[in-house]
Amino acid sequence: MPTGYVRVGAATPSIKVADCAHNAQSILGLMKNAADEGVHILCLPELCVTGYTCGDLFLQKTLLDSAEEALSFLVSESGNFPLVTVLGMPLSIDANLYNAAAVFADGKLLGFVPKSHIPNYNEFYELRHFKPAPGETLFIHGVIGIDGTVPFGTKLLFAPMDKDAPSGLRFAVEICEDLWVPIPPSSGHALAGANLILNLSASNELVGKAQYRKSLAAAQSARLLCAYVYANAGHGESSTDMVFAGHNLICENGVTLAESKPFAESESFVISDVDLESLESDRRRVNTFSDSYARGQKDYTTISFDLPSLKLSGSNLKLKRFVDPHPFVPDDDTEKSARCEAILDMQSAGLQKRLDHTGGAAIIGISGGLDSSLALLVTVRALKKLAHPTGVTAVTMPCFGTTERTKSNAIRLCEALNVECREIDITESVRAHLRDIGHSEDDKSVVYENAQARVRTLVLMDIANQSGGIVVGTGDLSELALGWSTYNGDHMSMYAPNAGVPKTLVRHIVSHVAGTSAPALRAVLEDILATPVSPELLPPSGNDILQQTEDIVGPYELHDFFLYHALRRTRTPRAVYALALCAFAESGAYKPDVILSWLKVFYRRFFAQQFKRSCMPDGPKIGSVSLSPRGDWRMPSDASAAAWLNELDTLG
């Protein structure tokens, strides 16, 4: 398992109402199953030791004694399992009865968390039986026959002392009402430092409630930048007046990682690995958390526990969550189409504003490749929205490396879009320039290649001056990350609508447009999609493109994966590599040594090419990863990549 992850589980035991001995055995079975699955922290439902629906039986000492006996048994048995268990039970303290969560591990009772909000309406009658939590943390003695004191209160943080615990794991516990009240207690827990919230619940089922519950849990995890585990009552609860579905959830930063089907036939048990290291990184980005930990923790008691057998990181367990090999591209076709449309709208809105401001035409270099095709599609869409319509001029500039296929596709695309297309052959201009600087045309070095790119930009800029227009850039986010552009060549424009779109998504957007277009436009876009990605700066072999970008800098699906996890998730090179192994294991597309090799290329190029990003043109931010130097990515152009590359060198 990559570092920074903790395996959590939410389970619903199959119970018998008021039969604590039976329920304890059912819970013990879940603890064993969880340990076998490598779960570190197991969350069980509210009052699951007795059953939530005991009614006035909660006032019977026989039931309360039986519940304490069941807990005592489970605490003693927990010494056999390397995990923390959190479960719900009634707890009698003096003359008060509380709806509480017991937290225990390694044969030790770590603390009790009473329910902080007790609903007062006819459906549940909880105030009839239970007292709301006290305002302060207490230390109670002689609980369930165990010597010593046990902390009791709502403001408890649990933190393992294991030095391998990732990113300072701190979890807090809440019971049921957290999702249904105006000020959720978990908000205070998070501001005090908790990055994992466990919610023990007994939420009855109603039509439509499962989706509502799921949306609340996911939203709270996003709001708090935390992992949120929700365990719900289910099979065995009394059905006198309501039913319980065992709907369990594990959410992280707005995403539902695991969910049990309501009314599953057997025990509902979901497991996932939550990425606490990434969550802590996200919290460092925002001021909400940076100033609150010290203040919030003054009111909290931290319960440190030592569980040597609990290895929270560095284990050989296979990561138990889906790692998307294409993090920028939705899997669902409907969602993918919606995202493509949203991106096209954002790109065209940005360009529309710039064209409204300048009042001139749009000038764009069109090569017959993916990026320039997308830029032209965006430009045409933007022009339709202009308050004062202007024109677009597409310019194709064949030279040494241009193939008939790409040149033909550039012209056909313009025709299908009813756009003016100018063909300007720059071959003689480039040859004259090479003679001027004393560079042999036989020397196919970077000078030979970049001369073509810079002459093309010169042509576009001068045409823009002629028409009073602006040059629309074509480069995408992946090229910016790798520095795959010629400085002051295709690197430069007056507005860059593709700057926030990664290459893997460029392909899907163009494909989306193709699928919704008339036959002529669809045909040319489909051929463009089938054409190898190439800068076409070296002479082809006949009509075959020999200079293919992904052979030189590596597969874009790998680089986009690296880009997402290195920047958006701020993972270490070691973690990015481990995640890539997980993501591409099923397809077998890349061997480990290939992934490692291209990851080194990514870091070398990302650091070495920052100078190009430091003066990149304006362009709209599209997703959560942006490399604009004006707000999203501020990095010295001469920063060293040594620490990142040294870490990768230790991997092989």
Question: The dihedral of CA 511, 517, 522, 528: what is its sign?
Answer: negative
**Side chain identity at 474, as an amino acid letter?**
T
Helices (H), 6-117: 20-36, 61-77
Give the distance from CA 2 to its chain's centroid.
16
**b/e map of 582-605 (b: 16 or more CB within 10 Å)?**
bbbeeeeebeeeebbbbbbbbbbb
Q: Which one from 20, 115, 251, 600 is the annotated catalytic residue? A: 115
Active site residue 449: no
- Residues 6+ positions from 115 with CB-CB distance below 8 Å: 46, 98, 99, 100, 126, 130, 132, 133, 175, 176, 177
DSSP per-residue codes, 184-245: -HHHHHHHTT-SEEEEEE--B--TTHHHHHHHHHHHHHHHHTSEEEEEE--TTS--SS--B-
Q: Is 115 a catalytic residue?
A: yes
Which segments within 106-194 are labelled E, that is strand?
108-114, 138-141, 149-152, 156-160, 171-175
Rounded distance, CA 181 to CA 115, Å? 13
- Locate 198 and state its tokens: 């466990």
Residue 430: its H or E element: helix 427-436
- Where in 424-475 does DSSP place strands (E)? 470-471
Q: 20, 43, 54, 176: which is the annotated catalytic residue?
A: 176
Burial classification of residue 198, based on how many CB atoms lie within 10 Å of its CB (0-12 exposed, 13-18 middle, 19 or more buried): buried
Continuous H helices in 96-199: 126-129, 185-191
- Distance separating alpha carbons of residues 613 and 488, to the nearest angstrom: 12
Choice among 43, 46, 126, 414 that is catalytic: 46
| Closest among 70, 94, 78 to 142, alpha carbons compared | 94
3-state DSSP assignment of residue 257: strand
> Is 226 a known active-site residue?
no
Alpha carbon distances (Å) from 112 to 158, 173, 301, 487, 591 = 11, 9, 12, 62, 49
Residue 231 · residue 248 · CB < 8 Å = yes
Please, are residues 576 and 564 in contact by the beta-carbon 8 Å criterion? no
Pairing assessment for the beta strands 138-141 and 108-114 based on DSSP bridges: unpaired
Q: Which residues contact 501 (CB under 8 A, 6 or more apart)?
A: 343, 347, 374, 476, 477, 509, 622, 623
Distance CA 113, CA 57 (A): 22
- Which residues have a catalytic role annotated? 46, 115, 176
